[in-house]
Amino acid sequence: MNLSELTTESADPRFAGIDTMSVAELAETMNAADATVPGAVAAALPQITGAIEAAAELVRAGGRLVYVGAGTPGRLGVLDASECPPTFSTPPEQVFAVIAGGERAIVHPCEGAEDDAQAGATAIDAAGIGPLDTVVGIASSGRTPYVLGAVRRARERGALTVGLSCNPGTPLSAAAEHAIEVLVGPEVVSGSTRLKAGTAQKLVLNMFSTIVMVRLGKTYGNLMVDVKASNGKLRERAIGIVRTIAGVDREEAERVLDQHGFNVKQAVLGARLGLGPQEAAALLARSEGQLRVALGEPA
């Protein structure tokens, strides 16, 4: 691998003196560099949009959203996937991440694992990836062997494949059906792609999971109506959502939530339409999980 060809590995002369800067100067420098990332993401929005549209249709049909990465990109994939069950009540197998080196690599460096392309392919086989699934390979360089092996095998197995990188014209872009290249340029610390590149990847993954879930009816407006009320804060959020949508007081919101097992969508239907748990569940099923449709409102 010729690292000199990668913009993410380049040394930017503007940052050559960071070790002589004060804390305030260095913080200002890093903040200014980070401020360029949203613009780089904006430039890639057409690529991002096409990939998300295709993925949403597959997930709606019963497919899975799978992130694959090594090192920082792998950990970002794990982070995004792990937020979906509490936010959108997705089953763990619907959105998940595969990281080079396995679970140990989430908290312990396993950097050598990224060089094993066959391990990436094997992980795809082990997950039983198929035509309804979407596999998003994440690699700042766009050349990580583990990710390339995974994406190539996923495409062989008929899955929708997306390659997310931070360099132009990468092997990952060539391997994937949808190429997303967010060109953030050199890092403040040369080659430390946990910085701007990592921030860009997090922004794109935020869009990926959130927009797919919105398209599946996991929100009503901007309210997370599929929230899993697993702690005090989330229970309070659920109560507030029911009060807002159904126009009821706190006592009534708590009553219908208790009646419907703290299922927010069902509780809203209970409060607005007077439905019991079985009736509300059946109406939601007929409405494909879309609360707005179930309420008879224009989608």
Beta pairing, strands 160-165 & 65-69:
unpaired
Distance (Å, whole) CA 57 – CA 172: 23
Q: Are 69 and 138 in contact (CB under 8 A)?
A: yes
Per DSSP, the three-state class of 231 is coil
Q: Of the candidates 52, 36, 54, 48, which has an alpha carbon nearest to the alpha carbon of residue 184? A: 36
For residue 39, what pLDDT is reported? 98
Distance (Å, whole) CA 57 – CA 288: 13
The per-residue DSSP string of 131-147 comes to TT-EEEEE-SSS--HHH
For residue 298, what pLDDT is reported? 87
Active site residue 114: yes
Residues of the chain with pLDDT under 70: 1-2, 4
Q: Report helix, strand and coil shares of the chain as percent, to nearest 5.
A: 55, 10, 35
Q: What is the dihedral of CA 168, 172, 175, 180, to 10 degrees?
A: -60
For residue 4, what pLDDT is reported? 66
Report residue 163: phi and psi, to 5°: -115, 115
Q: Of the candidates 108, 165, 123, 114, which has an alpha carbon nearest to the alpha carbon of residue 142? A: 165
Per DSSP, the three-state class of 260 is coil
Please tell me which residue in 28, 53, 57, 83 is annotated as part of the active site: 83
Distance (Å, whole) CA 41 – CA 37: 6
Residue 42, token pair as written in the block: 């904006």
Crossing angle for the helix pair 45-60 and 196-215, nearest 10 degrees?
40
State the alpha helices, DSSP H only, in 260-295. 264-273, 277-286, 291-294
Residue located via tokens 């079985």: 278
Active site residue 83: yes
Please tell me which residue in 9, 28, 111, 114 is annotated as part of the active site: 114
For residue 1, what pLDDT is reported? 60
Report residue 185: phi and psi, to 5°: 80, -170
